[in-house]
């Protein structure tokens, strides 16, 4: 499969899942637009590295995903958007009565509303081009709940719902919209949590992974960034042209329980 001639915009992509997706789409020939809220030399260096290694045009565009106007401007600055991967997200954990209002607002804005704004801006471009793929990185928490994660669970459920709506609105067009719902993914952020969790519970790191971090994940194995990137690539293929409006679980059996 070749994505040469396509432009992919990936939000929240200067690390973790987003960066892994950007690399894989570039390897498939797509020009990629990296994004985060920062605007550091390292951000632009990542894009330059992808360009050099893959021979594609990779750029970095700063945009604050908590602001609707920034989300739409990101797509406009990209100039084209054949593949939109809504990946930006943050997390905060607290009981509902103590959940800080500003954290609720930020999580809803970045994890959910940003996907609405980017999709609204990208769809006209996809329709003009005659092809499009909208891929929302949701979560197992878009299908299941956990205590103390009210904003995150609400936002990810919202993303899954919006994915269904966009899938229906574009069903007769060569455009698809799907959500990927990963369980716990082994990102640099999660890797840092393993020793801290082991210390907190007074157990080994292996026990911390199996009994605490992956408690709800029956496979007891992390999802990898490469696996998520592979699903994104599949959804961009012709084989997936009739897969739309759906949520694809990659959670080691979590949502099967």
Any idea which residues carry the catalytic annotation?
152
Q: Can you read off the two tokens belonging to residue 3?
A: 């994505």
Q: Estimate to the nearest angstrom the gap between the alpha carbon of 98 and the chain centroid.
A: 28
CA distance 150 to 249: 20
Q: Can you read off the two tokens belonging to residue 120?
A: 């609204």
How, if at all, do strands 7-10 and 58-62 pair?
unpaired
Contact 162/115 with Cβ under 8 angstroms? Answer: yes
Partners of 8 in beta bridges: 32, 83
Q: Is 189 helix (H, G, I), strand (E, B) or coil?
A: helix
Task: Select from 5, 154, 12 the least CA-distant residue to 70.
Answer: 12
Q: Which helix (H) or strand (E) holds 68?
A: helix 68-78
């Amino acid at each position: 499969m070749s994505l040469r001639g396509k432009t992919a915009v990936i939000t929240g992509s200067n690390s973790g899942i987003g960066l892994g997706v950007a690399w894989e789409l570039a390897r498939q020939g797509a020009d990629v637009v990296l994004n985060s809220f920062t605007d550091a030399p390292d951000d632009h260096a990542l894009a330059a590295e992808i360009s050099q290694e893959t021979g594609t045009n990779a750029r970095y565009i700063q945009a604050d995903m908590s602001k609707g106007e920034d989300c739409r401007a990101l797509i406009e600055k990209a100039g084209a958007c054949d593949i939109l991967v809504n990946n930006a997200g943050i997390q905060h954990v607290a009981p509902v009565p103590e959940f800080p209002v500003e954290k609720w607002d930020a999580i809803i804005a970045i994890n959910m509303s940003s996907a609405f704004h980017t999709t609204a801006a990208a769809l006209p471009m996809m329709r003009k081009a005659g092809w499009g793929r909208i891929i929302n990185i949701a979560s197992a928490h878009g299908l299941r709940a956990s205590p103390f994660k009210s904003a995150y669970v609400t936002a990810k459920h919202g993303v899954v719902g919006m994915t269904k709506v966009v899938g229906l609105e574009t069903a007769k067009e060569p455009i698809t919209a799907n959500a990927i719902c990963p369980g716990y993914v082994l990102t640099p952020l999660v890797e840092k949590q393993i020793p801290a969790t082991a210390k907190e519970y007074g157990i080994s790191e292996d026990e911390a992974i199996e009994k605490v971090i992956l408690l709800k994940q029956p496979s007891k194995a992390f999802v990898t960034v490469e696996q998520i990137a592979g699903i994104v690539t599949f959804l961009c293929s012709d084989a997936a042209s009739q897969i739309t409006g759906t949520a694809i679980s990659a959670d080691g059996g979590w949502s099967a329980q």
